[in-house]
Structure 1
């Protein structure tokens, strides 16, 4: 099964995440199929960039987003609307 989830990078105590499409059995920081976004929780307000076309494409192909990614995508769409 393919998941849309967060991949952590950044430095110690200052996490930054990439929103990636990855096999559910892969490690958290394993090689993704595709990177479709970016999330920086340390900025005020938190910065979220998401490729909406790629996100919706993967959803139609059956990828399952995690709860956090689903919430971030919803907030990103509301912010741009």
Structure 2
């Protein structure tokens, strides 16, 4: 099953995250099918860049959003 989830990137204490589509059976740092967004909580205000069309496409293909990604998508839609 495919999941849309966060992949941690960056150096120690300087984390940012990429929203990736990947197989739920593989490790988070494993290979991703596609990168569909970016989240940087360290900026003020936090930067959320999401490709909504690609997320809609992958959800139509059966991918599930992680709980955190659901919150980020809702937050980006509100702003």
TM over 0.5, yes or no?
Answer: yes
1:5-44 to 2 correspondences below 5 Å: 5-44=5-44
Structure 2 gaps of 5+ residues are none
Structure 1: 4+ residue segments shifted above 4 A: none
What are the superposed Cα offsets for residues 28-74 of structure 1, whole Å, 9 maximum, x if unpaired?
Answer: 11110000000001111110000010001111111010000000011
For residues 59 and 42 of structure 1, what CA distance do their matches in structure 2 show? Answer: 28
SS at match of 1:77: helix
Counterpart secondary structure, 2:70: helix
Tell me, what secondary structure is at the counterpart of 1:27?
A: coil
Q: TM-score, normalised by structure 1?
A: 0.94
Unpaired runs of at least 5, structure 1: none
CA-atom RMSD, angstroms? 0.6
Shift of 1:7: 0.6
The alignment of Structure 1 onto Structure 2 pairs a total of residues equal to: 79
TM-score by length of 2: 0.97
